[in-house]
Amino acid sequence: MTLAFIPLRGGSKSIPLKNIKPIAGKPLAAWTIEAAAGCPEIDKVIVSTDDAAIAAVANALGNPKIEVIGRSAESASDTASTESAMLEFASTREFDTIILVQATSPLLTSADLSAGIAELARSGADSLLSVVEQKRFTWTRDEAGIATPQNYDPAARPRRQDFSPYYVENGAFYICRREDLLKTRCRLSGRMGLHVMEEKTYYELDEPSDWKIIEGLLLGRHAAAETPAPSLASRAAKIRLFLTDVDGVLTDAGMYYTESGDELKKFNTRDGKGIELMRNAGIKTGIITTENTQIVERRSKKLKMDFLVQGAADKMPALLEIAAKTGCDLSEIAYIGDDLADVPVLKVVGFAACPANAIAEVLEAVHYTCRQNGGEGCVREFAELILSGK
């Protein structure tokens, strides 16, 4: 049996009555209780509390999975650890797996819990925690105030997309086995796995300043859910202009050189055919790239593309200029890119796509992720998707 365990104290120093204070239209605790109850892999949701008002809120949710239990004064004190409440419960109940869920992370979803349970099983780990991925340069200072970088060399500062990420606990949930909890008296032990959640879930509700941030994120998520996103077919049907990046999209991002130092690029003929098919369907085509090479110019001419903008470190001005020349609204433009320079464009066009091996920031910004990698037919795949909507 898999249980979710949600410890909720009545006392809160920083935010009075925090666990039942309304946020984005419902009591704080209701967000995580409902997320746990909505997870099909969780058999029962245990709400452990010392407060009658919190118990009433949990019971009022009316879900048969929810069970409210009492909590001793010792495990609910200001100085008590969360483990003390978990151990108090685990010592009297039989179950296999316990998922500690914390109400201070209301952005948690049922899908996150399902994914965490699946990851624990897949990895063979003994316990698991939720985290967010960070790519930040961290520093420390000694007693004299002298700073030292912890995770990079300032003399060889990496690009963000090349920077190895690290992971930060977001406090949303932890999974462990009952026997391990009782043996180690800790929520995490043995081999530990990670479930990576959205970056915005970095925020926890600890201080009053956190409240407005998280409430805004909850309201934004609710509004997005209430407003159905246009389907891929409806986006495709509007497209009058198709634009693409080069390196990592039309090519595999490899850098090839002859012995004499001449640069080479490998293009995919299927991608060329996709551009031809769009042109035959009356869709204007073009390239916007940060590079500036004769190779790209020749490829553009061979494909009879309508627009070529090279050396565009900032691609937005080029996008807007082409849009003005064609009389296209941004909603009528499709763009495919794979790297950071493409993100601003991808976020404003009507149909945004990327190769399967694009960087994380691009994957988050697009409407469609191709099955094919850059230089391996992703443009043809996107072209066919657009044409299918016509």
Per residue in 66-82, pLDDT tens? 999 998 888 877 778 99
Q: How far is CA 356 from the centre of its chain?
A: 16
Question: Which CATH number describes the domain made up of 2-226?
Answer: 3.90.550.10
Identify the H or E element spanning 102. Answer: none
Structure tokens at 212: 């407005």
Cβ burial, residue 211 (10 Å; 0-12/13-18/19+)? middle
Can you give the pLDDT at residue 10?
81
**Considering the entire predicted model, what is its pTM?**
0.59
Predicted confidence (pLDDT) at residue 267 exceeds the cutoff of 70: yes
Extents of the domains making up the chain: 2-226, 232-388
CATH architecture of 232-388: 3-Layer(aba) Sandwich (3.40)
> Among residues of the chain, what percentage have pLDDT more than 90?
66
Predicted confidence (pLDDT) at residue 204 exceeds the cutoff of 90: no
Q: What average pLDDT does this structure show over 128-144?
A: 91
- pLDDT, averaged across the chain: 90
Q: What average pLDDT does this structure show over 148-167?
A: 84
Structure tokens at 372: 């094919």
Predicted confidence (pLDDT) at residue 27 exceeds the cutoff of 80: yes
Predicted confidence (pLDDT) at residue 259 exceeds the cutoff of 70: no
C-alpha 366/C-alpha 352 separation (Å) is 5
Which residues are designated catalytic?
A: 157
Structure tokens at 46: 């245990």
